Amino acid sequence: MTLKDFQTLCNALPGTSAGFPFDESVLVCKVAGKMFALTNFNSFESISLKCDPDDAIALCGAFPAVRPGYHLNKRHWITVALDGTVPDALLRRWIRDSHTLVTEGMSGKKREALCSPALSTEKARAWIRENCGPLRSGLFDYHFAGGSPDSVMEALAEYQNPDGGFGGALEADFHLPDSTPAATSVAFGIMETVGGEESGMAEKGIRWLESVFDESRQGWFAAGPRVNDFPHAPWWHWNPQNGMTVIDHHWGNPSAEIIAILYRNRRYLRKLNADRLTEHAVGYLENLSIFHSPHEIYCFISLYDTLPREYRERMQEPLEKAAVSLMSTDPRSWSTYLPRPLDFASSPESGLFPAVADYAELHCRYLAETCEEGIWKPYWNWGGAYPEAWDVSSRAWTAALTTKNYLLLRNFAYPL
């Protein structure tokens, strides 16, 4: 971690101010006037952080670089030597935990001053339960109300077809009941979230994905021609002239994400070789010189998050270039379909966070300011096509966006 990384992360946390209240060398980061991080601005050899007393004892025992707080209350603070032995991901987590610990100890009024009055997971939960089915409701409850993963898996099972794939508007922008790679990749994202990839549902899903692998494409088409027979967004229309949807113009969507699924679940594979497919996908990304599709990059980020270090190192530079190239940094454009900075790094622990870190606080503040009655509605529509179906899909997207945005705000320690 560099001094710039430290400053960027601290400044991205809500309510942070930084200054030199003691002397010209000690940089102090505060939230609502309370210290949560200190470092020597000139040497940057260590950082001091607020810490739960029990956690402080455990960390001092587990890491030689961690000691009781230097010139601080040794029960409530730790000082971490920046000697390279503590991974950056842990340092970022400890900084966020310190900020959270300080804000949780504040009075209600001070905490409220850090919060947007529109943010309310309780209002969101009530809206989703009233307007969406058990899957969307179960997912939100799982994240924010101690909901059971079994409830989510039971609701997800309703979308699995006898062939093992998933359909039925699980991908909310089309209502085709048949199994599709696009809907099946959504299903596996849900299973990964709740720890359900050890289930029979997952094994059947992998078998189906193997059966529809397109050898000539070395990947998958998102959906087939029958998508046109059911309500769908314009961008999901299958074109008979080229035999694909607009989504399929970019190989990585959904193929890179599906390869991530196969890599995680390689124990179920019978036909495909996960290593060979991974090498193909990483090579494809390395050869991209212009980045056209943010959704393709999101699929590659799923793969990046799944793979071991040697692959991530090869993917790091092209993904950082893609994020910088594609993201909009102007909040005035964020009410459109343009990608926002934290679409590429949903937590400070992400390996891609440094590429978007300068805009993290701005993005979180934007989300807080645009929340209405606890929810966020989709900023796109189907252009008037299939109005009754769009009503159903818009509610599903509201649930998905609301869940995603609260998770993002929580990951960045934004007061909820």
Residue 326, pLDDT score: 98
Count of C-beta atoms within a 10 Å radius of residue 120:
18
Answer yes or no: do 34 and 181 share one domain: no
Residue 49's DSSP bridge partners are 37, 78
Structure tokens at 46: 């260590």
Query: Rounded to an integer, what distance in angstroms lies between the CA atom of residue 158 and that of residue 340?
Result: 33
240 lies in some domain: yes
- pLDDT per residue as tens digits for the range 224-279: 999 999 999 999 999 999 999 999 999 999 999 999 999 999 999 999 999 999 99
Specify the DSSP element, H or E, that contains 68. Answer: strand 66-68
Question: Is there a single domain that holds both residue 317 and residue 177?
Answer: yes
Give me the residue label for tokens 């793979």.
307
Domain enclosing residue 168, as ranges: 159-326
CB 402 within 8 A of CB 128: yes
Closest CA to 293 of 247, 259, 256: 247
Total number of domains in the chain: 2
| φ/ψ of residue 49, rounded to 5 | -135, 145
pLDDT at 117: 65
Task: Kindly state whether residue 201 falls inside one of the protein's structural domains.
Answer: yes
Domain membership flag for residue 339: no
* Rounded-to-5 percentages of helix, strand, coil across the chain: 55, 10, 35
218 — alpha (psi -120 to 50), left (phi > 0) or beta?
left
Number of neighbours of residue 280 by Cβ within 10 angstroms: 17
3-state secondary structure of 26: strand
- Domain shared by 105 and 242, yes or no: no
pLDDT at 239: 98
Cα separation, 153 vs 139, whole angstroms: 10
Inside any domain, residue 382: no
Alpha-helix residue ranges (DSSP H) falling in 195-308: 200-211, 252-264, 274-286, 294-306
| Interatomic CA distance for residues 24 and 31, integer angstroms | 20
Q: Are 103 and 235 found together in one domain?
A: no
Cα distance between residue 151 and residue 139, in whole Å: 9
- The per-residue pLDDT for 249 is 97
Same-domain check for residues 93 and 173? no
How many Å apart are CA 70 and CA 80, to the nearest integer?
10
Instruction: Kindly report, residue by residue over 337-396, the tens digit of the pLDDT.
Output: 899 999 999 998 899 999 998 898 889 889 998 999 999 999 999 999 999 999 999 999
| Residue 115 pLDDT | 58
- Same domain for 107 and 51: yes
Q: What CATH code is carried by the domain that includes residue 75?
A: 3.90.1150.30
> Could you tell me if 14 and 114 are in contact, meaning their C-beta atoms sit under 8 angstroms apart?
yes
SS (HEC) of 172-193: CCECCCCCCHHHHHHHHHHHHH
Q: Which of 114, 133, 167 is the last residue of a domain?
A: 114
Q: Which of 369, 375, 379 is nearest to 414 (CA)?
A: 369
Whole-angstrom CA distances from 278 to 197, 358, 375 are: 19, 31, 37
Phi, psi for 215 (deg, rounded to 5)? -60, -40
87, part of any domain: yes
Regarding whether 305 and 229 lie in a shared domain, the answer is yes
| Alpha-carbon radius of gyration of the chain | 23
Q: Give me the pLDDT at residue 361, please.
A: 82
Domain end residue (candidates: 326, 348, 371): 326
In a domain, 221, yes or no: yes
How many of the other CB atoms lie within 10 Å of CB of 122? 10
pTM: 0.81
Q: Which helix (H) or strand (E) holds 47?
A: strand 46-50
**Shared-domain flag, residues 195 and 272:** yes
292 with 190, same domain?
Answer: yes
Tokens of 83: 């000697």
Residue 385, domain member (yes or no): no
Of the three residues 259, 292, 326, the one that is the final residue of a domain is 326
pLDDT of residue 208: 98
pLDDT for 168 = 94
Helix, strand, or coil (residue 40): strand
Residue 110 sits in the same domain as residue 174? no
Q: What is the DSSP string of 88-151?
A: HHHHHHHHHHHHHHHHHTS-HHHHHHHS-TT--HHHHHHHHHHHS-HHHHHHHHHHHS---HHH
The amino acid present at 389, given as its one-letter code, is: A
Residue segments in the chain with a per-residue pLDDT below the cut of 70? 107-117
Q: How many CB atoms lie within 10 A of CB 69?
A: 19
Helix (H, G, I), strand (E, B) or coil at 61: helix
> Which pLDDT score, from 0 to 100, does residue 113 have?
60
Residues in the chain: 416
Task: Let me know if residue 403 belongs to a domain.
Answer: no
Cα 124–Cα 130–Cα 133 angle in degrees, nearest 5: 100
Same domain, 286 and 182: yes
Same structural domain for residues 240 and 91? no
Can you say how many angstroms the Cα of residue 317 is from the centroid of all Cα atoms in its chain?
19
- Joined tokens for residue 131: 């307007």
